[in-house]
Amino acid sequence: MSITSFTPPIRTLMGPGPSDIHPRVLAALSRPTLGHLDPEFIRMMDEMKQLLQYAFMTKNAMTIPISAPGSAGMECCFANLVEHGDKVMVCNNGVFGTRMLENVERCGGVPVVVEDAWGSPVELQKVEDALKAHPDTRIVAFVHAETATGARSDAQGIAALAKQRGALVIADTVTSLGGVALRVDEWGLDAVYSGSQKCLSCTPGLSPVTFGPAAVEKIKGRAKKVQSWFLDQTLVMGYWGSGQAKRAYHHTAPINALYGLHEALVMLQEEGLEAAWARHARNHGALKAGLEAMGLELPVALEARLPQLNVVRIPEGIEDAPVRTALLNEYSLEIGAGLGAGAGKVWRIGLMGHASQKKNVVLCLTALESVLGRMGASINPGVAVKAALQVYES
Amino acid sequence: MSITSFTPPIRTLMGPGPSDIHPRVLAALSRPTLGHLDPEFIRMMDEMKQLLQYAFMTKNAMTIPISAPGSAGMECCFANLVEHGDKVMVCNNGVFGTRMLENVERCGGVPVVVEDAWGSPVELQKVEDALKAHPDTRIVAFVHAETATGARSDAQGIAALAKQRGALVIADTVTSLGGVALRVDEWGLDAVYSGSQKCLSCTPGLSPVTFGPAAVEKIKGRAKKVQSWFLDQTLVMGYWGSGQAKRAYHHTAPINALYGLHEALVMLQEEGLEAAWARHARNHGALKAGLEAMGLELPVALEARLPQLNVVRIPEGIEDAPVRTALLNEYSLEIGAGLGAGAGKVWRIGLMGHASQKKNVVLCLTALESVLGRMGASINPGVAVKAALQVYES
């Protein structure tokens, strides 16, 4: 065996995440490593909490990045909040709702499922009816921005219904944080997790989470220990918590990965949260105009469409994989395949974080038009980029 | 709030980990991010598995890095292998044995504890007696290199006793992998976890694990699902496994962190595993000679002493924290505090991975002698470095 250093090609990442990473974030990753109890590192941890509070629009003290990917952030919320026998309502309209159900089951909760079609948002009436039928529901969980389908649900509306019935709210904001409006405190979301690699444009591997007062109270009142030692927030906060004379070692924090997230969040603060949302909306508008001018269809209803994740129907007679392979080989451009029920039927074009910029919109339209044309798709040639540019000029 | 980019100071890391990182590894972290299903990234994953098999000295197919720190690697082993009611013997001689007990309890196992004093290795006779008293033991777990105490246990001996009784073996090799002999297949270790940030000299945040055939069989035969979705190896291997037509998405892999581990493992392969063990032994010998010449005491018995983690008794009348603070402020040198029962009584001086080199040995001796002398410790001045250099010249 003789394996040499790995030199990755330079891609443009317009899939469902990871998104393109800004060079400032990549540079931060390679800064000198500190010990996880170094006073300078602890200072950075305090800044990190403030930066995450800004991004989540929350004052929650328990606002930290979990030292593992978004799926672990999801598990962290369920493992800490769900106790054996708790009735947990899961709004399921895609891959990540199904994953939530897996978590409820493995935590010993009793699931109640509110089903909506893939590509549709969660229907509030169904949630209201289900809560009426199950007044002993302890927790309502939903996905704000379904990465599998590109649909956005009404987080504020779902949370309001849950509150009326005294249930806690768990929200998956993996794909929404930094890309569309998300107001944790104003909307009353009790436990929220996200990912570093979507609209924050950091490398994958960290999961920002925030727990509000009602969630903290439920965790502290548990009859049994959290089943995961690694994700037990009562222990994790001994290291991340502030106001303590001394931080206790829990696990060794992923120092350099946290440098990257810190830098990505500093950049979000520099741009401004609202400005970042507006940028995602603007570039989405241009891409959408171009795709529709070309004759492609965006199946998600207009009012539920995520600007950062554009689901496009694969045209009649065109195969999925050869198109994506051609984009990768000829343009070093990654777009996403469909996931679950969408596999082979749709593509997922991400415009997340640093990837959400004009040059990526025109590159994607140009490359897609060229490849689809060559493969014999029935599209309108020569109009897509023009339609996109008109949006920027209007 | 206006927080700016974080610029860490440059430390020499001689604590219990993270250890100093080679610039090649830091540089690898900032290479362009790829998608987690990119063909080039998948090629790197296959190389990663081979490199880890080399480091662990195993042919196990299920040899991968968990996308989270060593504590999650520990939990991965217990969560996958321990079923409700399983009797699990834990050899407890430090902080990490205690953490194993937490895991057994949270997984619904029935713990049997074999206690040894802090700083002592696991006593084989006690394990043999305990197995005789509990012939229905399903799993025996122990820590190969106790990071809290600097003691090495006889992994081969413990595994042989467990095998005689038909029990599986879980071994914590967080601090041993790459620093001292570790032969997973030859010794018959069934489930093994480690960390990236010790003798592999990568940044913290990843946990290499390996599962042998008997462990895989127990996982596949489970009556109930693994309680952690994120750590369920039957799902994780759908992404990491080879020989499949198509890899299934499980979670988004921490791409850039994996670049770093790949580079660290390429460097280990270039040096050679046995050469790395010899280097750790040589630098330990020099540091030990210097510390003893100065008049400091290494409390761990000679035959159980870890070369990569040197536990030193704090001299009479000297306070712990001011010494470490002075080393940090004046020399930008980190050594470790005692952990648990060792807090305030010992220091832990790491010579791990890239940190295990001559220049660090002489820097540490010089700085420690200077600071201790100024603080009025009763030490022999002017002899430590000379004693260390004599070891290199012999």
Token representation of residue A372? 């689809």
Residue-level pLDDT at A244: 53
DSSP summary character for residue B60: -
Task: Using DSSP, state whether B297 is helix, strand or coil.
Answer: coil
Residue-level pLDDT at B244: 52
DSSP summary character for residue A229: T
The answer, yes or no, to whether residue A182 has pLDDT greater than 70, is: yes
| Class of domain A21-270 (CATH, top level) | alpha beta
Task: Using DSSP, state whether A70 is helix, strand or coil.
Answer: helix
The answer, yes or no, to whether residue A207 has pLDDT greater than 90, is: yes
The second-level CATH assignment, the architecture, of B273-393 is Alpha-Beta Complex (3.90)
d(CA B68, CA B86): 26
Rounded to the nearest integer, the mean pLDDT of chain A is 97
Residue-level pLDDT at B242: 62
Using CB atoms, which residue from A33, A230, A265 is nearest to B18? Answer: A33
Token representation of residue A51? 């930066």
- Residue ranges of A 290-309 with Cβ closer than 8 A to chain B: none
- Residue ranges of A 319-358 with Cβ closer than 8 A to chain B: 328, 334, 337, 339
Token representation of residue B266? 């390429």
Q: Are strands B87-92 and B110-115 parallel, antiparallel or unpaired?
A: parallel
State whether B256 and A20 contact (CB < 8 Å).
no
State whether B106 and A334 contact (CB < 8 Å).
no
Token representation of residue A198? 């979507």
Token representation of residue B315? 């001299």
Cβ-proximal residues to A123 (8 Å cutoff; 6+ apart), any chain: A114, A116
d(CA B243, CA B232): 20
d(CA A219, CA B277): 45
Residue-level pLDDT at B247: 82
Size of interface A-B (CB pairs under 8 A): 268
Task: Using DSSP, state whether A154 is helix, strand or coil.
Answer: coil
B191 CA to chain A: closest CA distance, Å? 18
d(CA A24, CA A29): 9
Q: Are strands A12-14 and A333-337 parallel, antiparallel or unpaired?
A: parallel
Q: B9 contacts in A (CB within 8 Å)? A: 32, 34, 40
Confidence of residue A341 (pLDDT cuts 50, 70, 90): confident
Residue type, B146: E
d(CA A299, CA A341): 14
- Residue ranges of A 124-153 with Cβ closer than 8 A to chain B: none
Residue-level pLDDT at A199: 98
State which residue of chain A sits closest to B5, comparing Cα positions.
A263
Please list the residue range(s) of chain B that carry CATH number 3.40.640.10. 22-270
Please list the residue range(s) of chain A that carry CATH number 3.40.640.10. 21-270
A47 CA to chain B: closest CA distance, Å? 7
A67 CA to chain B: closest CA distance, Å? 6
End-to-end alpha carbon distance in chain A: 58
State whether B69 and A67 contact (CB < 8 Å).
yes
User: Is some CB atom of chain B closer than 8 A to the CB atom of A238?
Assistant: no
Q: B37 contacts in A (CB within 8 Å)? A: 337
Give A333's strand partners.
A12
Residue-level pLDDT at A247: 82
Cis amide leading into B307 (omega within 30)? no
Residue type, B59: K
Dihedral sign, Cα of residue A295, residue A300, residue A301, residue A305: negative
d(CA A356, CA A350): 8
- Residue ranges of A 65-84 with Cβ closer than 8 A to chain B: 67-72, 74-75, 79
Of A373, A371, A374, which Cα lies nearest the Cα of A330?
Answer: A371
Please list the residue range(s) of chain B that carry CATH number 3.90.1150.10. 273-393
DSSP summary character for residue A336: E
State whether B228 and A106 contact (CB < 8 Å).
yes
State whether B9 and A253 contact (CB < 8 Å).
no
Token representation of residue A52? 């995450």
Using CB atoms, which residue from B8, B249, B265 is nearest to A34? Answer: B8
B394 CA to chain A: closest CA distance, Å? 33
State which residue of chain B sits closest to A350, comparing Cα positions.
B35
User: Is some CB atom of chain B closer than 8 A to the CB atom of A94?
Assistant: no
Using CB atoms, which residue from B9, B106, B205 is nearest to A254? Answer: B205
The answer, yes or no, to whether residue A242 has pLDDT greater than 80, is: no
State whether A47 and B328 contact (CB < 8 Å).
no
| CB of A262 closer than 8 Å to CB of A31 | no
Q: Is B257 exposed, middle or buried (0-12, 13-18, 19+ CB in 10 A)?
A: buried
User: Is some CB atom of chain A closer than 8 A to the CB atom of B269?
Assistant: yes
Q: What is the phi/psi pair of residue B315, to 5°?
A: -65, 150
Q: A83 contacts in B (CB within 8 Å)? A: none
User: Is some CB atom of chain A closer than 8 A to the CB atom of B107?
Assistant: yes
| CB of A86 closer than 8 Å to CB of A139 | yes
State whether B228 and A225 contact (CB < 8 Å).
no
Residue-level pLDDT at B340: 87
Using CB atoms, which residue from A10, A35, A51 is nearest to B334? Answer: A35
Least confident residue range of A79-93, A231-245, B332-346:
A231-245
Average pLDDT score over residue span A47-62: 98
Residue type, A145: A
Helix, strand, coil percentages (3-state) for chain B, rounded to 5, are 45, 15, 40
pLDDT < 70 stretches in chain B: 242-245
Q: Tell me the fold of B22-270.
A: Aspartate Aminotransferase; domain 2 (3.40.640)
Token representation of residue B286? 């020099």
Token representation of residue B264? 């660290």
pLDDT in tens, B3-60: 999 999 999 999 999 999 999 999 999 999 999 999 999 999 999 999 999 999 999 9
State whether A257 and B71 contact (CB < 8 Å).
no
Residue type, B297: E
pLDDT in tens, A354-371: 999 999 999 999 999 999
Q: What is the phi/psi pair of residue A131, to 5°?
A: -70, -35
